[in-house]
Amino acid sequence: MREGKELILATKPYASENRSSSWKHLWITLVLLVAALSATLLLPFFVAKLAASILSGLLVVRMFVIYHDHQHHTILQNSVLAEGIMTIFGLYILAPTSIWKRSHDYHHKHNSKLFSASIGSYPIATRQKFEQMSGKERRAYLFTRHPLTILAGYLSMFMIGMCLQSFTSSPKKHWDSLLALILHIGGSAAVIIFLGWQAWALFIVIPFTIACGIGAYLFYAQHNFPGVTFKENEDWCYHDAALLSSSYMLMSPMMNWFTANIGYHHIHHLNARIPFYKLPQVMAEIPELQTAKTTSLGIKDIIACCKLKIWDSQLQRMITLREAAALRGTPCTPAKPVYAVVTSKVM
């Protein structure tokens, strides 16, 4: 049974793109997305427009994962055309290249570490830390992880997190975050003025709400699920973080297509240079990757993931607020091993 570096090396043969496949996936997705967005404005019946709007949101999710692979330098590198398309898409989806790459690269290097900055990740507090927080700090922490905050990823994660906060924290480094906001707000205003409120809802609000909400939840559940493990910095290692702290999200073939196989997240974290269209093949051909920790988009699994709030170092698992309340006052850290001290007596 391969593990660690040996397992990472086993994935290396898959870590190269088929250039024609990469272009095929990109163009098909882009054409379908443009067609669906156009249909929200051109179709004669509201129900048909609404269906096109929902489809647009799902296609934005797929396009985002393709963009994500490009930012990992996994596909379509050294192509001026691809670089231009991805830069424009990053601005469109409110995740411009400067902040997305910086935050996501940090996430891959520090996934599941306790006591690291929550850059590119949802914050994780230990029970000890949570009990030491002020009321205001607890409310802020729980608000960030609240299901409604995740569902409102369009506003919380993308407009505020990716764009507004990144620009205000470092204007020179993330000037494209401001540009993305200006283009988005300006484009929304233009649609409202020239096409009306209904067109704005169908062409912008619904697709972005669906895409950003799904994206935010996927990002949450891929690393916040029953059975996930977190490590203190000195105990952390890359391959364990991939296999023990990243989920394999069970999806239907249709949702795997719309999410561009991002549900195979444990494999992606093990080797981010594997193109999204090869991830199912990797899992099928490497047995060690077939026993991953799983979750799904089923209601029960979504509820189970969303209930998890705090890492308990004593229990070595994520716990709910109810469990945290019941455990208040008990030790927060693992018990230290007790060693027998043997002394010799000189007679």
pLDDT at res. 116: 59
- In the chain, DSSP assigns E strands to 113-114, 125-126, 231-232, 248-250, 294-296, 310-312, 317-319
Residue type, 278: K
Does the pLDDT value for residue 218 go beyond 80?
A: yes
Count, residues in the chain: 347
Phi, psi of 129 (to 5 degrees): -65, -40
pLDDT in tens, 18-34: 999 999 999 999 999 99
pLDDT in tens, 163-185: 999 999 999 999 999 999 999 99
Long-range residue pairs from 275-280, CB within 8 A, at least 24 positions apart, any chain: 275/16, 275/17, 275/18, 275/21, 275/22, 275/69, 275/74, 275/75, 276/25, 276/65, 276/66, 276/69, 276/74, 277/18, 277/21, 277/22, 277/25, 278/14, 280/256
- For residue 234, what pLDDT band results from cuts at 50, 70 and 90? confident
pLDDT in tens, 18-77: 999 999 999 999 999 999 999 999 999 999 999 999 999 999 999 999 999 999 999 999
Phi, psi of 96 (to 5 degrees): -60, 155
Does the pLDDT value for residue 232 go beyond 90?
A: no
pLDDT in tens, 274-294: 999 999 999 999 999 999 999
